[in-house]
Structure formats: C-alpha cells, structure tokens
Chains A and B, each alone.
Chain A
Amino acid sequence: MASSEPKLVCRGVWKIFGAGGRSLAGPSAARLTSADLRAAGAVGAVRDVNIEVREGEIFVIMGLSGSGKSTLVRCLSRLIEPTSGDILFNGENLLAASEARMIEIRRHQMGMVFQHFALLPHLTVLANVAFPLEIQGIERAAREERARRMIDLVGLSGRENAFPRELSGGQQQRVGIARSLAAEPELWFLDEPFSALDPLIRREMQDEFLRLQSVLKKTIVFITHDFDEAIRLADRIAIMKDGEIVQAGTPEDLVLNPATPYVAEFTRSVARAKVVKVAALMRPLNGTLPPASIRANAPVAEAAPLFSRGAETLAAVDGAGTPVGLIDRAAVVDVMMRG
C-alpha cells in the first residue's frame, strides 16, 4: 500500500436503467428499494455508490453476477453514463468532462482489461498491444517498440506475430493486460480479468498480476465475483449487492467484522489466519525483545510455523526490520482455531 491520497473518488453515483431514471435518482432516492424501482419500470444497476480509491492500491469490487459491479466500473470510466453523482479523477469531475477531454483521459490515463479479453481478431499480438498507441497516432516504429516491451513484461515474447485465436485463454489475457498497459495508464481497470480462465491458470495469472503490480504500482480497480480472489489480491474490498456497496474495507475488516449477514456468508469459509495480519494481534513493545521476528503485515498463518520451535512470543517488525510490537502464541492459536 503506497500513499493514501484518493486517486479516484466516487460520490453518490447512481445508474438507473429504464424510463425516468433521472427523476428517480439523486439524494432523495437514497432509500429507494429495488422493488420501488421495479415498480417504476426501472432497474437500479448502481445505487448511491460512494468509494475512494487511493493512489497505488488494489481496490477490489466484489459481487455476484447482477450486483452491478460491471456497470459501476463502466461508470467510473464513463463507458456508461451514470444517471447522477460525481466521479473525481485526480480531482477532476469526469461527469463534467467534454467528449474530447474524456478521449484524452482514456488515451493517456486509463487502461482496462476485459473479462473476455476483447482482442481484435484481425490483428496480431503485436498489433493488438500496439493498438492503443496506434489510436493515439504514435508512429509505427515507436509504438511497436513499446508494445514489444509490454509483451516481454507479460512473458509472451516470441508470440508477437501470432493471432489471438491461436493463443490459449491465459495467453490471450496476457495480451489484454499488455495492451491495457501499453499507454502507461495511471488508473487500471480490470473487469473480471481471470473469470474466463481455468482455476489453475487463474491462480498463475493472479500471481503474475501481483508481480506486475509490485513493479508498476498502478492504482487499480479490480472487479471479481470470486471472494477468494478478492482476498488474495485486494488492499481493500468493496462488496456489492443489488447495486449498492454493502461494506468496504480491508480483507481483515471484512473477515473480522462483517457488517451484514450477506458479507458474513462470504467470509465464513475464509481461513482467518490467511487474512488477519500480525499487526492486528500484536501488543505494544515492553522492553524485552524475543529472538525470532515476523513482518507485521504478514498474515498470521505465516507466523504459526515459527511458534512450533517453542517460542511463546515473537517480535513483529516493519519493512525496515524495526520492531513495532509483540505477538503471543495464544493469540495466534486463537485465530487459527476459529478457522
């Protein structure tokens, strides 16, 4: 997690499909239920969403199908025009931006990865990755040079001249990722990027994604319907249901304090030890310093093996190795026993 300046702020965003959407939306509509909307012949795909995405974080929007998450992410880039609300990107209200300004922003500051890859079938891998640059009018040699770097970055070197249909699903999505990064965007949208892939490949791609992010440090909005994926990748998660954000917070927050039974339903099967960080269990330093130590931002599960050597207490250290607290065996056991 890098600095905590909000990169993207979403205030009171509504998207209502169907007749009379505009008159229904707005602050006064905050308590409209989906049944009310249905009675009015409208569907509230996104209802009064308020989120902040901070610079350099992975913000996951998780929801089941039909929860409005795909609509929301398209509202954020204005691929879908929100019915009402404000979307501030670097402080600029996107909903007030002109068409030309939006094209400018999308060309240079946003990138997007799609669930079904959305590769252009008539272009080679190289041309697909270079496509955003071609649209910007960058000349061939320069754009192909940059595209080659991106292809290299996602590990597809050697397949530059292949066509999309000659690639496996995982490879296709790598192309999609390379393409979305070609224009070096600040804000990176990933719309269920791994949902169409086999579980093994999905896992591999998640690792790849985390590796990329550790290098690139983009601000990321990641959409998924898979809670495990969300837990694995997210700095913070927002859970959506029926167009509303039910709860937003760190994976730990959600697992330890689910706000509603709906959220609890998802978190129940998650092993807490894999989510809860050492920092959440540690007590203040009291002068003595145990010999063994663990990173404060590691999940508790990683601390467990260290206790097996007989230690009763571990030191929790920050990234620089400086002790920041102590963690007891009993606290760890307690978390692990609760599943």
Chain B
Amino acid sequence: MGASFPVLQPVSEPIPENPASRGAARARWLWPLALALFVLFWQFGEGFAKWAFSYPRALEIPAARWIGRAAKWLVDEASFGLFTFTDLTRFLADIIDVPYRVALGLLSSGLLSGQGSSAVQHLPPLSWLAVLAIVALIGHHAGGARLAALVTACFGFLVIFGQWTSAMVTLASIVVAVPIGVLAGLLLGLAAWRWPFFERMLVPVLDLMQTIPVFAYLVPVLVFFGFGPTAAIVATLIYALPPMARVTILAMRSVPAEIRDLGNMVGCSRRQMTWKVMVPSAKDSLMVGVNQVIMLSLNMVIIASMIGAGGLGFDVLAALRRLDIGAGLEAGLAIVALAVALDRLSQAYAEKAGRPAAGIAAGGGFVSRHPYLVAALTIVVATFLAGLAMPALQSFPERWQVSTGTFWSEVVRWINVNFFDALEAIRNVILLNILVPLKRLLGDLPWAGVVALLALAGYRLGGLRLAALVGVLSFLIAATGQWEKAMITVYLCGISVVFACLIGVPLGILAAERERLWRWLQLVIDTLQTLPSFVYLMPVVMLFRVGDFTAMIAVVAYAVVPAIRYTVLGLQRVDPRVVEAGRAMGCTSGQILAKIKLKLALPEILLGLNQTIMFALSMLVITALVGTRDLGQEVYIALTKADTGRGIVAGLSIAFIAIIADRLISAGANRIRERMS
C-alpha cells in the first residue's frame, strides 16, 4: 500500500511567462482592491444585479436532459454501420465475461464443462486449503517465508471469519480487472508517450476519469452494460486504469536520456525501442502502477457492488443499509485482509523485478526448473482428492467459524450509552460555531463574483489560459443550475480539508523526523486507505447520527492520508546536503525545519493539499449515503433512478470543482518550484 495514493497529476500545460513578475507594485494593490470590490458587490449588489446572485432559470443550460437523451439514443439507435453501439458494449462485456467466468469457476462456483447438450460435468472450485497453500507459495516465491506467513494469515482470516465465499467472488473480479487494467493502461501510456498529440487528448480524459466521482459513471455503465459483475468490472477498469496510464507516461519520461540514446545508437527500431529498451528499463516504476491498479480495483470493486459486483462489497453495503456495524466491519476487515495480501505480494514482486534474479539453474528437468509450478499443481490435485475424502477440507465448516460482529455492535452501543452527552456536545459546538456559519456565508456569495475572483486567481497564478479554464468551468457549474449544491460541496470539502491539513501536516512533520513513528503511521494510513470508503461511515454514523458533521468526520479520516504522506515525502526528499549545509552554518533543528526543510518541501506539501482535496471530494460523494445535501446527494439520487443525465451533470460539477482546485494549486506549486530551481 506504500504507493496506493493516486499518482501526482502533472499539470498538463507548462506555465506561461509569469505575469506577476512584471509589476510587483501592481500586485500589491490588486488583491485588496478585488476583494473590496467583491465585498461591496456582495453587500449592495443584490438590488440591481439579481442575476449575479441566483442564476436565471430561463438561461440555464439543460445539459442533464441532453445527456439523458444522448444516452438513450446510444442504447436504442446508435449504429456504426456494421454494428450498433449495443453490439459494441456487448462485445466488450463478453471480453470481460469469459475470463471472469473462468476465475469465478476456479475460486468460487466450480468449473462447469460441457455446457449445452452434453452432460454438465461439475468440478468443485479450488478448496480453501488449496487457495491458502497456493497463496503461501506465491508469497514464498515473491518474498520468502515472512511474506508467505503474512499472506497466509490474511487469507486465513478470511476463512476463519466466514468471509471466504464473498472474498473469492471479489478476488475473481480483481483477478480479471487487474490484468486488463494494467495492459490497457500500459498501452495507452505508451501511445501517449510516443505521440504528443495523443497525450494532449488523453491527459484531460484521464483527469476527468479520476476527478469524476465514481458514482457518476456508475450510472452510464449501468445503463450500457446492465446490472451485474461485468458492469462492475467495467466501472472498476474506468477507475483503476488512469493511474497505470499516468505511471507509464511518467516512467517512460524518467528513463535516463542516455538509455534512450543507447537504444538509438544500437539501431533499435521503434518496436525494439519500446519493448526491449524503454519498458524493461522502466520496470520498477511500472510495477508501482500495477500496485496502484490492484489497490484501486479493490477499492472500486466495493463501490461497484452498487451495480452488482457482489462479494465483500455487497456485504459491506448491505450491512451499512441495515446499520449493522458488526457485520459491516467484519466484511470491511476482510477487504483489508485481501488488500494487504495483494498489496504486499505486488510490492514484493516489484522489488524482485528490481533485483537481479537468483541464479536459475539452466539444466535440470522440468521439476527442478519450475519448482513452484509443480508444487502448486501437486497441491491442487492433493487437496482435490482430500476434499473428496473430507468435505471439511473442501469448504470450511460453518461451526468452526468465528464472528466478532456482535462484539463491535456492543462496543458502539456502550459508547453511545456512556458518552452520548459528550459526543453530542462536541458535535453541536462545531456544527453551530463553524459549519453552519460557513455554509451560510458560502451560500450567500454571488456566483458571478466568485467566478470573477477565481478567474483572477487563475490569471495571477498561471496566466490567461488558466484564467479562462477556471472561469469557464465555474461558470458552467452555475449555468447548469448546480451552484447552490456546489457551494455546499465546497463548504463541506473546504472545512474537511482544513481539518485534515491541521491534523495531517503536523503529524507528517513529526513522522518525517522519526523513522519508527513513520513506520507505525504508515501502517495506520495504509490501513485507512485500503478500508473501503463505506466502512468509515459506519462508526461515525453510530456515534454522531446522520448529517454534515458526520460527513465531515468521515471525509477528514479519509483525506488526512495524503496530507500526512506528502508532507513526509516532501520533507524526506529534501536534499540531505542542503540540510547538512544548514547544520554546518549552525542552524538549530528548529531553524533547519522552518527555514530549510519546510521551504524546500513546500511544493510537495502543496501537492499533498491538492490530493487531500481530491480525496475529500471523492469521499464526499459517498457521504451522500448519510444525508448531505450537496452534489454527491444529487449523484446518488441519479444512481438510484438510473438517470444518466442528472448523474453526469452533477458528477461533472464535482469534477469541475476538483479541476479548478487542482489547476490553481498546481500552478502555485509550480511557481514556487520555479523560483527555487
């Protein structure tokens, strides 16, 4: 999980010549003037410019209706001559469906051979014992005995806590989604690396894919692919593929120029260059992408249970709907166990890829050359035979299973009985003094003024193009009638981000200096990050009931991770020679931190802020389940009604907020970085 946060998004455009440097004198009065104008307009403008406060209904762009109609047209009528759009989606579904059936057969449902007229022959799926043993073997192959023990323990947890069946369904989806995601991401990334025009097209699409909240594209996926595991895998792919593409582009770029020169000097053709020089040289970084695809797939497969993924995600969702915290937590922990196992395995393989392989005996028979493969096959056969003799070895008997569900429910009940007043007091104080006033304030602001201010910020940070982008996107939010809900989103997101940073940055500073603390903290935030976002909601709802405060807590818990991680990364990446120079000049450690490390780490920390915002936005959508009134709720309603247009418009609005924040912060970070280099 070391790298399971979304990859940094490189700002797609280079920052044009910095307009700020031209007139430092002008800069000094520009912002106070703009703010003064804004406040004046806000206080007194409503009388003569009502349109600037609430967007005129008559001028609204009916985007939701258009999109809804387009989706309907695609499903019912669209045709590319030889085949229709529906044929295309069916074709894609089939590509996914066949391997999925195989994986599911192996892991969960048993293999059905000879379909149709001939007799249906039934093979049982791999028994829990077989899977456990194979996982242990893989662990041993990837990282030795310790890793084998870890992954066996993780899978053992699944067995003992009765999560096996669901977990294997989830695993089947992952096993199908990950290779497809990795391969597609790799190819897209390579294409983008080779053809700049393709990159220019791809990057905004990737941005959108990553910033649109997942619920929003669940709706069209549901409409195009129907309800079921296939649709869930499609949604998972959409979610998990962008980081692979991004990592590929970055990895190709970071291959040293000399290696590329070498490829040219030995006369590589383009294909040789790609597959013999670039991809192998970048293998280490590419494995990071693979790891990301695995982690994101796991996260998404849970969310995709809303459109029929089944498995552990479905268990969590069902438990959440019943507010059955015990069951939900157990299923959630099962996901964590699965995540930890898969993550450690993929990381171990990444490391192994970076290490020279141990001397492989060239001679010898098949057995000595492929000890692991032979062992795995032996295990499969042996456990199959054992399973026939002893059914308990085929499927783990229910009476041996353990459940802690009731225990957790009791814990929450106990807390509620004993600490209700205290919790309620905290909630009310924060709600009344911070959340409500801020919500009112933001709700009152004239949209036209906010758009103008944002555009001005864009101009100052990144020139005219950024100003135009920011201005147009924020205008579109208003013009599609989403302004009010968007401001609620901004308020919830903003306050959560502030809290997340207030907690995350100091923690990061502490952890960066202390190796042991960082190791522990890493374990905690890795776990936080692998928990499916639903799981966060349950304890918070239990303690604080539904509402904005609950949503905020859940968002902070989720979004604090990148704040911590990037702060630590930024501080650790500070060139030790500079720190040494500082020490040589007689800086105290406080001075080193304040005057050297934090200054140099600032761009990184800003990127962390950026990611914190992204995380907060994506979690915010999920908190719609606990009754917020923001854009997330809009998307959620659209999903339950399968209303493509409404879902996409609200989803895009969230994406726009994310893009605006991302571009402004990245531009700021780039300016700082330029000033430093």
Which chain A residues lie closer than 8 Å to B74 at the CB level? none
CB-defined interface of A96-107 with B at 8 Å, one 1/0 digit per residue? 000000011111
- Decide: A120 and B267 in contact? CB cutoff 8 A: no
In the complex where A106-B266, A110-B265, A121-B281 touch, is A135 in contact with B276 (Cβ < 8 A)?
A: yes
Determine the residue in chain A with the shortest Cβ distance to B268: A135
- Decide: B262 and A166 in contact? CB cutoff 8 A: no
A112 to B263 CA separation, bound complex (whole angstroms): 10
Tell me which of B262, B269, B354, B356 contacts A118 (CB under 8 A): B262
Beyond A106-B266, A112-B261, A135-B266, list 12 extra A-B contacts (CB 8 Å).
A79-B264, A103-B267, A106-B267, A114-B261, A117-B258, A120-B281, A121-B354, A122-B280, A134-B276, A161-B359, A166-B356, A183-B266
A134 to B277 CA separation, bound complex (whole angstroms): 12
- Decide: B258 and A114 in contact? CB cutoff 8 A: yes
A136 to B267 CA separation, bound complex (whole angstroms): 8
- Decide: B261 and A132 in contact? CB cutoff 8 A: no
- Decide: A135 and B272 in contact? CB cutoff 8 A: yes
A219 to B266 CA separation, bound complex (whole angstroms): 17
Q: Tell me the minimal C-beta distance from A69 to chain B in angstroms.
A: 15
A58 to B258 CA separation, bound complex (whole angstroms): 22
Q: State the 8 A-B residue pairs at the shortest beta-carbon distance, nearest first.
A: A107-B267, A163-B356, A132-B266, A118-B258, A106-B267, A112-B265, A118-B262, A114-B258
- Decide: B281 and A131 in contact? CB cutoff 8 A: no
- Decide: B265 and A103 in contact? CB cutoff 8 A: no
Q: Tell me the minimal C-beta distance from A144 to chain B in angstroms.
A: 12
Interface residues on A, range: 35 or more
- Decide: B281 and A122 in contact? CB cutoff 8 A: yes
Which chain A residues lie closer than 8 Å to B283 at the CB level? 122
A115 to B281 CA separation, bound complex (whole angstroms): 17
A189 to B261 CA separation, bound complex (whole angstroms): 12
A120 to B268 CA separation, bound complex (whole angstroms): 14
Which chain B residues lie closer than 8 Å to A166 at the CB level? 356
CB-defined interface of A240-265 with B at 8 Å, one 1/0 digit per residue? 00000000000000000000000000
Tell me the interface secondary structure of chain A in the complex. Answer: mixed
CB-defined interface of B234-258 with A at 8 Å, one 1/0 digit per residue? 0000000000000000000000101
A7 interface hit (Cβ, 8 Å):
no
Determine the residue in chain B with the shortest Cβ distance to A115: B258
A123 to B279 CA separation, bound complex (whole angstroms): 13
Interface core residue of B258, B272, B280, B281 (most chain A CB under 10 Å): B258
Determine the residue in chain A with the shortest Cβ distance to B262: A118
CB within 8 Å of B: which A99-154 residues: 103-108, 110-112, 114-118, 120-124, 131-132, 134-136
A162 to B356 CA separation, bound complex (whole angstroms): 8
B259 interface hit (Cβ, 8 Å):
yes
Which chain B residues lie closer than 8 Å to A108 at the CB level? 267
Which chain A residues lie closer than 8 Å to B354 at the CB level? 121
- Decide: A120 and B259 in contact? CB cutoff 8 A: yes
- Decide: A106 and B259 in contact? CB cutoff 8 A: no
- Decide: A116 and B258 in contact? CB cutoff 8 A: yes
Which chain A residues lie closer than 8 Å to B265 at the CB level? 77, 79, 106, 110-112, 180, 189
Chain B count of residues within 8 A CB distance of the other chain: 21
Residues of B within 8 A of A (CB): 256, 258-259, 261-262, 264-269, 272, 276-277, 280-281, 283, 353-354, 356, 359
A189 to B266 CA separation, bound complex (whole angstroms): 12
A165 to B355 CA separation, bound complex (whole angstroms): 9
Tell me the interface secondary structure of chain B in the complex. Answer: helix
Determine the residue in chain B with the shortest Cβ distance to A74: B261
A134 to B263 CA separation, bound complex (whole angstroms): 12
- Decide: A131 and B266 in contact? CB cutoff 8 A: yes
Which chain B residues lie closer than 8 Å to A162 at the CB level? 356
A-B contact pairs, 15 of them (CB 8 A): A74-B261, A103-B269, A104-B267, A105-B267, A108-B267, A115-B258, A120-B277, A120-B281, A122-B280, A131-B276, A132-B267, A135-B266, A135-B272, A163-B356, A183-B266
Determine the residue in chain A with the shortest Cβ distance to B354: A121
A118 to B277 CA separation, bound complex (whole angstroms): 11
Q: Tell me the minimal C-beta distance from A106 to chain B in angstroms.
A: 4
Q: Tell me the minimal C-beta distance from A68 to chain B in angstroms.
A: 16
Determine the residue in chain B with the shortest Cβ distance to A137: B272
- Decide: B356 and A165 in contact? CB cutoff 8 A: yes
Q: Tell me the minimal C-beta distance from B137 to chain A in angstroms.
A: 24
Which chain B residues lie closer than 8 Å to A131 at the CB level? 266, 276
Which chain A residues lie closer than 8 Å to B269 at the CB level? 103
- Decide: B356 and A120 in contact? CB cutoff 8 A: no
Q: Tell me the minimal C-beta distance from A109 to chain B in angstroms.
A: 10
Which chain B residues lie closer than 8 Å to A180 at the CB level? 265
Q: Tell me the minimal C-beta distance from B278 to chain A in angstroms.
A: 10
Determine the residue in chain A with the shortest Cβ distance to B259: A118
Which chain A residues lie closer than 8 Å to B277 at the CB level? 120
CB-defined interface of A186-213 with B at 8 Å, one 1/0 digit per residue? 0001000000000000000000000000
Interface core residue of B259, B264, B265 (most chain A CB under 10 Å): B265
CB within 8 Å of B: which A5-26 residues: none
A180 to B265 CA separation, bound complex (whole angstroms): 9
A124 to B369 CA separation, bound complex (whole angstroms): 19
Determine the residue in chain A with the shortest Cβ distance to B280: A122
Which chain B residues lie closer than 8 Å to A120 at the CB level? 259, 262, 277, 280-281
A135 to B267 CA separation, bound complex (whole angstroms): 7
Determine the residue in chain B with the shortest Cβ distance to A128: B262
Which chain B residues lie closer than 8 Å to A163 at the CB level? 356
Q: Tell me the minimal C-beta distance from B308 to chain A in angstroms.
A: 41
Q: Tell me the minimal C-beta distance from A97 to chain B in angstroms.
A: 12
A112 to B264 CA separation, bound complex (whole angstroms): 10
CB-defined interface of A62-89 with B at 8 Å, one 1/0 digit per residue? 0000000000001001010000000000
A194 to B258 CA separation, bound complex (whole angstroms): 15
Tell me which of B262, B268, B276 contacts A112 (CB under 8 A): B262
A132 to B272 CA separation, bound complex (whole angstroms): 11
Q: Tell me the minimal C-beta distance from B539 to chain A in angstroms.
A: 46
CB-defined interface of A149-182 with B at 8 Å, one 1/0 digit per residue? 0000000000001110110000000000000100
A107 to B499 CA separation, bound complex (whole angstroms): 60
Q: Tell me the minimal C-beta distance from B506 to chain A in angstroms.
A: 38
Tell me which of B262, B272, B281, B353 contacts A114 (CB under 8 A): B262
Q: Tell me the minimal C-beta distance from A190 to chain B in angstroms.
A: 12
Which chain A residues lie closer than 8 Å to B280 at the CB level? 120-123
Tell me which of A107, A122, A161 contacts B266 (CB under 8 A): A107
Which chain A residues lie closer than 8 Å to B256 at the CB level? 116, 118
Which chain B residues lie closer than 8 Å to A135 at the CB level? 266-268, 272, 276
Determine the residue in chain A with the shortest Cβ distance to B277: A120
Which chain A residues lie closer than 8 Å to B272 at the CB level? 135
Q: Tell me the minimal C-beta distance from A79 to chain B in angstroms.
A: 5
Determine the residue in chain A with the shortest Cβ distance to B267: A107
A108 to B265 CA separation, bound complex (whole angstroms): 10
Q: Tell me the minimal C-beta distance from B272 to chain A in angstroms.
A: 5
Determine the residue in chain A with the shortest Cβ distance to B272: A135
A302 to B403 CA separation, bound complex (whole angstroms): 90
